[in-house]
Amino acid sequence: MTLNHPIFTRWPAQYPDRLQLFSAPTPNGVKVGIMLEETGLAYEPHRIDITANESHTPAFLALNPNGKIPAIYDPDGPSGTPLVLFESGAILLYLADKTGQFRRQPR
């Protein structure tokens, strides 16, 4: 499988069938990594050096136009369609829904 997104020209995926996490060791960046570990989803991390402005490169901005970490690329999104998502809260909710974990079901 080849991932067809500009982000992979700068940060190639070694495991293209896995969810790809683009992040840095900041409070918001770490949340998503913890969630991925807790849910047991297979993922490949890519460290974005925000001190070197890597989050403002054309490749990263193609993934997240806000230029902020974290962001994910899920090759197996809803209905098997690849999904790009950013903002830690949105990612956490998506991962909870995807796995059926850590989210209280409505009564």
pLDDT score of 58: 96
Share of the chain above pLDDT 70, in %: 98
pLDDT, tens only, 39-54: 999 999 999 999 999 9
- Cβ count within 10 A of residue 2: 7
Q: Is the peptide bond before 82 cis (omega within 30 degrees of 0)?
A: no
DSSP code, position 106 = P
For tokens 């940060």, name the residue. Answer: 11
CA-to-CA distance for 75 and 82, rounded, in angstroms?
Answer: 4
